[in-house]
Amino acid sequence: MGRLDGRSVLVTGGGSGLGHALVGRFVEHGARVTVLDRSEPKLTALREAFGTGVRTLTGDVTSFADNKEAADLAVREFGALDTFVGNAGVWDFGRSLLDASPEELGTGFDELFSINVKGYLLGAKAVAPHLISSRGSMIFTLSNAAFFPGGGGPLYVSSKHAGVGLVRQLAYELAPEVRVNAVAPGGMATDLRGPGAMGLADRSVADAIPIRQMVRDNGALRIEVEPDDYVGAYLYLACRDDSATVTGTVVDVSSWGTPKRT
Ligand code: NAD
């Protein structure tokens, strides 16, 4: 028996990277999964990989209408919505305050915060009525950058810090019906892109830096991490039997804060 048998889960940004790994693990554990992503080719590949276990919607998390359509699709197709995973995000490739022009900081802020923060807020707004009905839960993807500097530039790091405040406030507002938590993974070699407004939309983190080796060489545990390595914490938070008392928390699975022993 799967830990999420019969549960309905909505994942944003499930087309690649961590989101793709989440879809795979949720399906493996018996969940029916709806995915909202802006990349139609990635969603086509996802449907081919997972067949009837998934439904997809091509849309943008910065639009409330798209979030609502995805939530309604999950309920229509699978009878309810039990878990919402806000995960779609972009990175700033570590562009620093001194290196970025004032124009880049302004337009980059608007685009990056619109996806990383507003996207989570509007997703939460769209799914809240369904999760109140099902007494479900929300899980947001944050980052080691939600706690520590250096995992990006000021735009990305402040957007992930903002996510901590969002989790705490929503957990407070939506209790006792809905649990709201987050997971903070560390670096992964994925297709993570940056804001087009900063000229960072055309390459991925995996292409730009040797991130797999950087995580291995600088991390306390010295392992080469794959997105799937971070997925267990989501499963725990999605599974009511395992985490019924947990809300308003961020599970840090990055090991970023533990100094490397020499
Ligand atoms: P990814 O690019 O492989 O996956 C993100 C997905 O989100 C993509 O499929 C993309 O098409 C989709 N997306 C982006 N903007 C969207 C929008 N406006 N509307 C709808 N879909 C959109 O990257 P990933 O590394 O798997 O990122 C997933 C999450 O993990 C992000 O929140 C990211 O900040 C976080 N994270 C990544 C790393 C890393 O090193 N890769 C580290 C810590 C946290």
- Cβ of 226 closer than 6 Å to ligand 1, yes or no, is no
Give 93 Cα–ligand 1 centroid separation in angstroms: 13
- Shortest-distance Cα residue to atom 9 of ligand 1: 15
Is the Cβ–Cβ distance between 113 and 171 less than 8 Å? Answer: no
Looking at residue 262, what is its pLDDT?
84
Residues that are catalytic: 156
Residues composing the chain: 262
Of 262, 10, 41, 255, nearest in space to 128 by CA: 10
Beta strands in 105-196 (DSSP E): 137-141, 179-184
Looking at residue 234, what is its pLDDT?
98
- Cβ of 22 closer than 6 Å to ligand 1, yes or no, is no
What is the value of pTM for the model shown? 0.98
Q: In angstroms, rounded to a whole number, what is the distance separating the alpha carbons of residues 170 and 133?
A: 16
Reduced to 3 states (helix: H, G, I; strand: E, B; else coil), residue 239 is coil
Angle at 165 between CA 127 and CA 13, to 5 degrees: 45
- Shortest-distance Cα residue to atom 32 of ligand 1: 89
* Each residue's pLDDT expressed in tens, for the chain with a length of 262 residues: 799 999 999 999 999 999 999 999 999 999 999 999 999 999 999 999 999 889 999 999 999 999 999 999 999 999 999 999 999 999 999 999 999 999 999 999 999 999 999 999 999 999 999 999 999 999 999 999 999 999 999 999 999 999 999 999 999 999 999 999 999 999 999 999 999 999 999 999 999 999 999 999 989 999 999 999 999 999 999 999 999 999 999 999 999 989 999 8
